[in-house]
Amino acid sequence: MNTIFAQASARGKAGVAVVRLSGPGSWGAVRALAGRVPEPRVASLCTLSEAGGRLDEALVLTFAEGASFTGEEAAELHLHGAVATVAAVLRALSGLPGLRPAEPGEFTRRALENGRLDLAQVEGLADLIEAETEAQRKQALRVLSGEVGRMVGRWRGDLIRAMALCEATIDFVDEDVPVDVWPEVRGLLSGVLADLERERAGVGAAERIRDGFVVAIVGRPNVGKSTLLNALAGREAAITSEVAGTTRDVIEVRMDLGGLPVTLLDTAGLRDSGDAVERIGVERAMERAEAADLRIFLVETGEEPGMVPRDGDLVVRGKADLGDVVGGPAVSGRTGEGLEALVAAVSERLAGRATAVGVVTRERHRVALGSAAEALQGALQNGAASVEMTAEFIRAALRSLDQLLGKVGVEDILDDLFASFCIGK
């Protein structure tokens, strides 16, 4: 049962639905349903039938082994997107010998196992499928295109050269060979180390693009936080009320702000309260606001923000429509006045932080880069003292880089990763 099949397009009715097959029986299955196997990579209109009964008129694509997404013999059936059509074709496929439905992410898993994608690319693909904003889409596509693999490939090349130099010294230590390879080894190692550090520093920003920036709206009760959040989100996402202190917990709204993913927090009003439940809300609000990437302090005329603003935070006067014109930025959740300027200010500040992004995007990457960097620091500190030791440090660094691409020691994370894929991917 080595040939798998699944609907690759989203479930539900649609114009077209795509069913994908991969494995040695894919073309045989196409022959069974379509009566022939079209030339690879040429879309052909075929009548699919089962036991003489017509299933659908479909566009059929075949891919030869070594020239498909999974690396295996594969095929795609582009069907009319009716739920009944897809169900009938899937039923017909499961009746064929050697075929079985795919597990979630199984196509991608085969692509990884056959070396068509490295692990970082698989993660990029997972992120691309999840992408909601422009920044997320671009970042995921960069990772999927194999940029991590190319970069690691360059580092590997330099480290392998450094190791070869060390080993040559070990082998010829008793002979009359010039042994002063250290300056070149040091040059190679410090070059790679600098790159590793730079990439590592960018992971934080890349993670923000993946998971979203957090922006907290902070201010006293009734200053208009919930109304502002609703206006920003363009929908009723938080409770607004005349009674002070109704937003007891932290309300979150995810939105796309100028292409960047942002989670907006409407925090409980900052004030001393006798009410125990509300006090907990205020404490939670303070914590979340402290941890946020950016705070928008909503204040009344002449009022100071209840927390000390940090670099990049915004202090804005609320209820601008009430008209007591005083200088400084003002906003009204009710009329929308000043909203555009506020959104521009927030996205400008966040975009500035997003530019530090490198190619690696996950905590797993940061850890692998970190241990590679540590090994190289060891090698550099060890210096020319013992070439055997230096070579060992370099080997450790290479192992960490292999881990980054999923070449070694990653079985445990694979199951997790593929479980996050949908069936048909």
Among positions 241, 381, 386, 420, the unique one binding ligand GDP when judged by CB under 6 A: 241
Q: Which stretch binds ligand GDP (CB under 6 A): 142-150, 277-285, 317-325, 358-366?
A: 317-325
- d(C-alpha 22, C-alpha 62), whole Å: 10
Q: Which stretch binds ligand GDP (CB under 6 A): 36-44, 272-280, 329-337, 391-399?
A: 329-337
Q: What residue has token string 């450094």?
A: 162
The single-letter DSSP state of residue 321 is: G
Among positions 226, 273, 347, 390, the unique one binding ligand GDP when judged by CB under 6 A: 226
Residue 85 binding ligand GDP, by CB under 6 A: no
Between residues 139 and 273, which has the closer beta carbon with respect to ligand GDP?
273
Between residues 333 and 424, which has the closer beta carbon with respect to ligand GDP?
333
Length of the chain: 425
The answer to whether residues 185 and 236 touch, using CB atoms and an 8 Å cutoff, is: no
Residue 307 binding ligand GDP, by CB under 6 A: no
Between residues 335 and 381, which has the closer beta carbon with respect to ligand GDP?
335
Between residues 145 and 241, which has the closer beta carbon with respect to ligand GDP?
241
Contacts of 250 (CB under 8 A, 6+ apart): 265, 266, 267, 268, 281, 284, 285, 288
Contacts of 28 (CB under 8 A, 6+ apart): 96, 98
Name the E strands within 289-425. Answer: 294-299, 314-317
CB of 310 to ligand GDP, least distance (A): 21
Residue 273 binding ligand GDP, by CB under 6 A: no
Between residues 99 and 265, which has the closer beta carbon with respect to ligand GDP?
265
CB atoms within 10 A of CB 256: 15
Residue 322 binding ligand GDP, by CB under 6 A: yes
Q: What residue has token string 């960018």?
A: 202
Q: What is the largest CA-CA distance in the chain?
A: 89
Asked whether the CA dihedral 279, 280, 282, 286 is positive or negative, the reply is positive
CB of 226 to ligand GDP, least distance (A): 3
Residue 281 binding ligand GDP, by CB under 6 A: no
Residue 222 binding ligand GDP, by CB under 6 A: yes
What residue number has its CB nearest to ligand GDP?
224
CB of 248 to ligand GDP, least distance (A): 10
101-112 in b/e form (b: 16+ CB < 10 A) is ebebbbbbbbbb
Residue 333 binding ligand GDP, by CB under 6 A: yes
Among positions 175, 176, 180, 242, the unique one binding ligand GDP when judged by CB under 6 A: 242
CB of 265 to ligand GDP, least distance (A): 12
Name the E strands within 9-67. Answer: 16-22, 44-50, 53-63
Q: Which stretch binds ligand GDP (CB under 6 A): 119-127, 190-198, 217-225, 373-381?
A: 217-225
The secondary structure of 336-357 as a DSSP string is: -TTHHHHHHHHHHHHHHHHTT-
CB of 292 to ligand GDP, least distance (A): 17
Contacting positions for ligand GDP (CB under 6 A): 219, 221-227, 240-242, 247, 269, 318-319, 321-322, 332-334
